[in-house]
Amino acid sequence: MDPLSDLLSTLKPNDYMFRGIDMAGAWSLQFPANDGLGCYAVISGECWLAMEGDAAPIRLGPGDCVLLAKGKPFRFASDLDLPAIDAVGFVTSAVAGGIASMHGGGEVTGVGGFFHFPEKDAGDLLHALPEVILINNPSNKAALRFSMELLMQELRDMQSGGHLVAIHLAQMALVLALRAYLGRAPALRQGWLAAVADKQLGKAITAIHKNPGCGWTLQTLAELACMSRATFASRFKTTVGVAPIEYVLRWRMLVAGERLASGARDSIGAIALSLGYATESAFSAAFKRTMGCSPDAYRRRARSAPTA
């Protein structure tokens, strides 16, 4: 798999909250801070997006999609001068996967929600994204709009199996949006995804993902990227936010966490060996430092948690 598929399949969002909206007249919805990754699309009509802070408001039109990665409070509105109502109370007035309507609807329709990921390290990787990613390139909007319109249809019809179909369509929209971000000019990208898209750094990250148990060194990774050690180390840390060997450790622990949480009966010792650790104790110590608990405790907690 490619690194983006690796990341999303390994992290496995553990919760979803998504609704559709169908608005008319004057309206303003205030969303609270949230630690998930937000994905929203306007299907028809136009509205404003305003993030808390100094960022300028963004006018969204049909097919425009935004990813919100920093968890800050934000507003969607027909007019930003209007007093806002609580968005959570409004959208949750509709059933999960349903559509909340105001003033009879028909002027602005949209769909979106949050993907929540279980571990701090997942947040570290995904929140390396910029605060707002606006996807409005015509070639990318077509695929996104198609997936979002299918999602809206599922939300409206609520046929048998519709909730599951809606979840998969929402995930597809998220992947399409991230892919569109990867296709941006290099100067417009930053964070982990920028490294994936970088022809040189991407080679090193792909190799780490394919073989996390390899005894990676700064030298071997730099050679894969066709760069000197010093240049590779500096560029990797500047782009990704962590040093290359720290990234290797984090990825190993995320892979280990996925295997511990899954239904597989792999022993901790077997997981340790597959990830390059000579002893179970060395792996357990590294896992606890990174994930905040022992592998045994992580497995028990993951298997007792309700599924999304």
> What is the edge-to-edge ordering of all strands in the sheet holding 99-101?
99-101, 15-23, 108-116, 37-44, 65-68, 132-135
Each residue of 228-271: pLDDT tens digit? 999 999 999 988 888 999 999 989 998 998 888 876 678 999 99
- Please state the rounded mean pLDDT for residues 34-59: 89
Does the pLDDT of residue 116 top 90, yes or no?
no
Distance CA 58, CA 134 (A): 9
Question: Residue 17: its pLDDT value, please?
Answer: 74
Distance CA 44, CA 22 (A): 9
pTM of the model: 0.71
Does the pLDDT of residue 145 top 70, yes or no?
yes
The residue type found at 213 is G
Mean pLDDT, the chain, whole residue set? 84
Q: Give the torsion sign (CA, 155, 183, 216, 126).
A: negative
Quick check: 25 and 77 in contact, CB under 8 A? no
Distance CA 81, CA 234 (A): 45
Does the pLDDT of residue 219 top 90, yes or no?
yes
Ranking 15-29, 160-174, 231-245 by mean pLDDT, the lowest is: 160-174
Does the pLDDT of residue 75 top 70, yes or no?
yes
Question: pLDDT higher for 303 or 236?
Answer: 236
Does the pLDDT of residue 45 top 80, yes or no?
yes
Distance CA 179, CA 184 (A): 9
Residue position matching structure tokens 């198609």: 146
Question: Residue 120: its pLDDT value, please?
Answer: 56
First to last CA, the chain: 24
Residue 28: pLDDT band by 50, 70, 90 thresholds?
A: very high
- Please state the rounded mean pLDDT for residues 96-100: 81
Ranking 129-143, 196-210, 278-292 by mean pLDDT, the lowest is: 129-143
Each residue of 177-198: pLDDT tens digit? 777 777 765 554 556 777 777 8
The residue type found at 143 is A
Does the pLDDT of residue 1 top 70, yes or no?
no
Residue 308: pLDDT band by 50, 70, 90 thresholds?
A: very low
Residue 166: pLDDT band by 50, 70, 90 thresholds?
A: confident
Question: Residue 282: its pLDDT value, please?
Answer: 96
Helices (H), the chain: 3-11, 87-91, 120-126, 138-157, 162-182, 192-197, 199-210, 218-224, 229-240, 244-261, 268-274, 280-291, 295-304
Distance CA 174, CA 160 (A): 23
Report DSSP state, residue 186.
G
- Please state the rounded mean pLDDT for residues 143-152: 79
Question: Residue 137: its pLDDT value, please?
Answer: 80
